[in-house]
Amino acid sequence: MNMNTVSKITAILMLVTSLALTSCSKEEEMGCWPPLDVPGDSANVIMIFNATTNGQPLELLKNFKDPLGRTMQVELLKFYVSNVFVSFNGASTLLKKAALVILVDPNVTDTTKKHNEIALKIPYGNYDRITFSVGLDVVQNAGDPTKYPSAHPLSINQNTYWDAWGKYKFFMIEGKGDWDGDGTLTNIYGYHTGFDECYRSISFEKMLTLDATNSNETLNVNFEVNDVFFGKDTLDMKLHPSWHGDINTIETAFIISDNFQEGLRLN
Amino acid sequence: MRNILILLSFMFILLSCSKEEKEDLPKDPIILPPYNPTYVDLNDRLPSYLPRMDIPADNKTTIEGIELGRALFYEPLLSGDGTQSCGSCHNQSYGFTDNGKKFSTGIDQVEGNRNSMQIINAGLRTSFFWDGRAATLEDQAFGPVTNPIEMHEKWPRAVAKINDISTYREMGYKAFGVVQLDSVLISKAIAQFERSIISGNSKYDRWKKGEYQMTPQEDYGRKLFNKDRDEIRDSLGNVIQVIPGADCFHCHGDLSDFTDNLFHNNGMDEIFTDPGREKVTGNAYDRGKFKVPTLRNIEHTAPYMHDGRFKTLDEVIDHYSDGLVHSATIDPLMKNVDIGGVRLSLSEKAALKAFLLTLSDPDFLDNPDYSEPPPL
């Protein structure tokens, strides 16, 4: 088998996967909030995303200190989680194509829904790994947001779409800070990562045994907000107070995407 | 005691009346024509690149419903003294706003403190009024009739006046299959008409459909509208290059019909006389936030903002360019507030305005389907 055939096969495989990923099933039309149906008996697993500021639960507009001792607040924090898989010995099962996780958003008034939770149905069995991505894959990112029903996570109504760039925003964080230490939160920051280049996948080792006696599980995925700016790389928020899709300065979006990816913890 | 007696005898009269009426029913029932409304999918009338409207399951749109709603929208009988209709403060030629007025005046000549809002592609909105206090068009339409600074009428009286007119009873039957209209059905009909008020043939729309070529100035304005203002700095933090942009798309994105349907503080005041969204949610962090209006037909909906403070589009553009002020709830997307705004040059301002003018839709402003119908 020469190189050419290999790449052809890869291309076909990729096409098939992406087709499988895009094929809008009934439950996708319903808004994708219900978990994907899986054959046979399955367990209900809830993935909960929790953010902290210096160990305390993140709250809308609550002051906290960054590692430089400056006061800051978060006014909006939401991101896409997509392509959630569980696997055992390398064989994976797709559980969720895309969900929008909202941790802080003053415009979300519907408190009946837990916007930081993703409900999953996992077939009974043993698993050793859970994998998911932050952002949307190439196919989802190329979709037309006006074609989804309004409650769908990819709908234009989620306000996660850059009309100008024709792409989705993957991770959005906005707020205010006091960079000059004068006691007033007059510095504004806002970062919306996006473009296929900011898609990040995370995989955790996780032993799961799901059966009739253990059919409800909760997976907590935690992260510290400060780690988003002060992680593997540090973002100078005073110098670069925002990023909204300018390809020339995409470095800023990379720092946030990488730091967030590294900062996620499963327990 | 006397009062109670009067009340009791009054109730007795009322009860006996209705009884008499029942006995008086004609022996041969009136044969009504079959109730057979024509359903329409308004989404078919929207340009393909816009999101779809969510039509409430209990108020499906019909040709007959729209027709009734249109008549009611322009019906002054719905007001206390029969002088004012919805159309009085929502004039089609002004993009369904109040004739260039800063504030509207109700039938009692009391002036409100909010600028009348456009009704354009309203079926795409997810809340109504500047503070979003109504969740649906049906809820919204229920309000003005009894609002003391608007039409100042009592619903039972308004309903009785409408039902007194046989043409309305006929139209009501065709639209809803009932012989008597009530306040809920009147609101539903008006909401159906409002959803049918669609603008989708502006220069911008024709450009989207490939039928119009924007002038270089309009096109530059479009690019500015859809672009952040960016500063490239050296390692010491000095600005070495400014990439112009007007930052409008964050809140007025074109694919969502030039509004994100949310509430923002766009940096107009340091202290708020109108609490805006806070009045609805009770949350201090919503102080001074207002609903983002669509920019369609913006040329015709002056004056601008919730209090009509800006008379012209130039004033609006100057505000976003140089006039932003700080406050606790200012939106993080107004990120150039420290330097007053997006700092556009004169030619950039002119281009941005030229683009905003491409959102004017003459076919909408004089579409006979939305105008006042001939008298019943």
Q: What is the pLDDT of residues A109-125, one digit of tens each?
A: 777 788 999 999 999 99
CATH code of B183's domain: 1.10.760.10
pLDDT on residue B69: 98
- Tell me the average pLDDT of chain A: 86
CA angle B128, B129, B134 (to 5 degrees): 45
Both B158 and B74 in a single domain?
yes
Cα distance between residue A90 and residue A128, in whole Å? 9
Both B195 and B235 in a single domain?
no
pLDDT on residue B108: 84
Dihedral over Cα of A24, A27, A32, A38: its sign: negative
pLDDT interval class at A13 (50, 70, 90): very low
Nearest to A244 by CA among A144, A179, A177, A162: A162
DSSP letters for B137-166? HHHHHHHHHH-TTTT---HHHHHHHHHTSH
In the numeric block, which tokens belong to residue A143? 């979709």
Residue in A closest to B255 by C-alpha? A163
Both B217 and B341 in a single domain?
yes
Both B261 and B323 in a single domain?
yes
pLDDT interval class at B7 (50, 70, 90): very low
Q: Is residue B271 part of a domain?
A: yes
Closest residue to B335, CB basis, from A106, A159, A190:
A190
Q: How many CB pairs under 8 A join A and B?
A: 86
Closest residue to B285, CB basis, from A106, A241, A248:
A106
Both B75 and B208 in a single domain?
no
Both B213 and B355 in a single domain?
yes
Nearest to A153 by CA among A80, A78, A257: A80
Chain A CB contacts of B327 below 8 Å: none
Both B67 and B183 in a single domain?
yes
Q: Is residue B72 part of a domain?
A: yes
Residue A90 to chain B, least CA–CA distance (Å): 40
- Is B51–A157 a contact, with Cβ atoms under 8 angstroms apart? yes
Residue B279 to chain A, least CA–CA distance (Å): 14
Amino acid making up residue B253: G
Residue B314 has pLDDT above 90, yes or no: yes
| B209 has a chain A CB within 8 A of its CB | no
Q: Which domain holds residue B159?
A: 42-200+364-370
Compute how many other C-beta atoms are within 10 angstroms of the C-beta atom of residue A220.
Answer: 12
Both B236 and B89 in a single domain?
no
Cα distance between residue B129 and residue B276, in whole Å? 10
Spatial CB neighbours of B259, under 8 Å, sequence gap ≥ 6:
B125, B251, B252, B253, B291, B292, B293, B294, B295
DSSP letter at B305? S
**Spatial contact of A77 and A173, defined as CB atoms under 8 Å apart:** yes
- Is A246–B243 a contact, with Cβ atoms under 8 angstroms apart? yes
Q: Which residue has the higher pLDDT, A1 or B310?
A: B310
Mean pLDDT of B54-62: 96
pLDDT on residue B16: 41
| B213 has a chain A CB within 8 A of its CB | no
Residue A34 to chain B, least CA–CA distance (Å): 20
Both B196 and B207 in a single domain?
no
pLDDT on residue A150: 87
pLDDT on residue B113: 93
pLDDT on residue B174: 96
* Cα A52 to Cα A59, A170, A188, B237, distances in angstroms: 8, 20, 20, 30
Cα distance between residue A67 and residue A82, in whole Å? 30
Nearest to B342 by CA among B253, B239, B228: B228
SS3 A51: strand
Q: Is residue B352 part of a domain?
A: yes
- Is A107–B232 a contact, with Cβ atoms under 8 angstroms apart? no
**First and final CA of chain A: distance in angstroms?**
44
Dihedral over Cα of B278, B291, A243, B269: its sign: negative
Q: Hey, which residues 217-236 in chain B have their CB within 8 Å of chain A?
A: 226-228, 230, 232-233
Chain B CB contacts of A176 below 8 Å: 332
Both B139 and B287 in a single domain?
no
Rg (CA), chain B: 25
| B14 has a chain A CB within 8 A of its CB | no
Residue A159 to chain B, least CA–CA distance (Å): 6
In the numeric block, which tokens belong to residue B292? 């983002």
Alpha helices in chain B, H assignment, sequence order: 2-23, 63-73, 86-89, 137-146, 155-163, 166-176, 183-195, 203-208, 216-225, 249-252, 278-281, 313-318, 346-357, 362-365
Spatial CB neighbours of B143, under 8 Å, sequence gap ≥ 6:
B134, B150
**Residue holding tokens 């393909």?**
B48
* Cα A55 to Cα A206, A220, B9, B262, B352, distances in angstroms: 23, 15, 71, 31, 46
Both B349 and B264 in a single domain?
yes
Q: Is residue B110 part of a domain?
A: yes
Residue B225 to chain A, least CA–CA distance (Å): 9
pLDDT on residue B8: 40
pLDDT on residue B1: 44
- Is B228–A244 a contact, with Cβ atoms under 8 angstroms apart? yes
Q: Which residue has the higher pLDDT, B189 or A40?
A: B189
pLDDT interval class at B27 (50, 70, 90): low
pLDDT interval class at A34 (50, 70, 90): low
- Is A239–B237 a contact, with Cβ atoms under 8 angstroms apart? yes
Nearest to B330 by CA among A261, A203, A136, A106: A106
Residue B36 to chain A, least CA–CA distance (Å): 29
- Is B332–A149 a contact, with Cβ atoms under 8 angstroms apart? no
ipTM for the whole complex: 0.81
Both B177 and B270 in a single domain?
no
pLDDT on residue B30: 64
Does residue B303 have a cis bond before it (omega within 30 degrees)?
A: yes
Q: Is residue B22 part of a domain?
A: no
Measured in whole angstroms, the distance separating CA A83 from the mean position of its chain's CA atoms is: 10
**Spatial contact of A228 and A173, defined as CB atoms under 8 Å apart:** yes
pLDDT interval class at A257 (50, 70, 90): very high
Spatial CB neighbours of A213, under 8 Å, sequence gap ≥ 6:
none
Structural domain tally of chain B?
Answer: 2
Lowest-confidence segment of B26-35, B151-160, B206-215, B314-323 by average pLDDT: B26-35
Closest residue to B335, CB basis, from A61, A185, A242:
A242
- Is A163–B243 a contact, with Cβ atoms under 8 angstroms apart? no
Q: What are phi and psi of B182, to 5 degrees?
A: -130, 180
Chain B CB contacts of A159 below 8 Å: 253, 256, 260-262
Mean pLDDT of B342-367: 97
| B255 has a chain A CB within 8 A of its CB | yes
- Is A163–B255 a contact, with Cβ atoms under 8 angstroms apart? yes
Chain B CB contacts of A71 below 8 Å: none
